[in-house]
Amino acid sequence: MNHPSRDFVEEIKVIGEMGFDYVDFTVEGPKALPEDIEKRVGEVKDTLSSYSLDVVGHTAWFLQLAHPYDSIRRAYLEEALKALEVLAKVGAHKVTYHPFLMISSAYRRQPYRTKLLELMASSFKVLSRRASDLGAVVMVENLDGGKIWSLEEYKFIVEEGEVYFHLDVGHANLNSEKLRVEEFLKTFTPGSKLIHVHVSDNVGGSAAKGWDLHLPLGAGRIDWAKVFRLLRSYGYDETVTLEVFSKDRDYLKLSLEKARRFA
């Protein structure tokens, strides 16, 4: 994945030189806003082509698609659609969004929680139907191991929002006493509902307190041999992104080697 704080074309070149199969192209500030990419679509496509790279789409994690204030939610949805449009222009065939919430805790309890869930699914449905017009599909990514949203609530978003599921393995190790990869695999059938995976390491802990560390594989506590064994056992055969943001890019290359060995 390109780092949103670096020039996105240079990031594509780095990813291509490392021998990746595709770019997980995130549309996110400060340096990869939709408006910035729109001005350089031709350059992006030429760079992708020069390295024979496919592209998967990713969007800012903080878009509040279920905000209870209509005008604010519509503004976030407008930004989400802008990201979708530009990602389709550079060739993305599947695009990730996050079911992010940052509101008063009162809304997290019933009866308000059900309303938020319905608003989230409604926003995802809008994105999904526009994506279909553009020849792409939309995915929802888990934020943690099932505390922020439960597995049943993710299932509701997938079904009512008419979208697919994206499993972030690192996130599945947060806000949980154990890594919950298998629970997600049981809930979302690979190839049918689960069509994309992110991998990065961490040591567990709270998502809200910054423990989503995006470490290289092997630098945290996740058993990657077991993770890839589980993915294989459930028949997963889709894209896997290394969401590793070490300053030293040698660790990204090492993570790629490890992932290919485990796969």
Q: Quickly list DSSP for 187-249.
A: HS-BTTTEEEEEE-B-----TTTT----BPTTSSS--HHHHHHHHHHTT--SEEEE----SST
According to the model, what pLDDT value does residue 258 have?
97
Compute, in degrees rounded to 10, the torsion defined by CA atoms 199, 205, 209, 214: -20
Instruction: List the one residue out of 102, 94, 101, 104 whose CA is nearest residue 117.
Output: 101
Predicted local confidence at residue 50, as pLDDT: 98
pLDDT reported for residue 208: 83
Domains by residue range for the chain, with CATH: 55-262 (3.20.20.150)
At 107 the pLDDT is 77
Q: What is the pLDDT of residue 146?
A: 95
For the chain, which residues score pLDDT lower than 50? none
Contacts of 22 (CB under 8 A, 6+ apart): 53, 54, 55, 56, 239
Q: What is the pLDDT of residue 110?
A: 87
* Nearest CA-CA partner of 175 in 154, 147, 150: 147
State residue 141's pLDDT score.
98
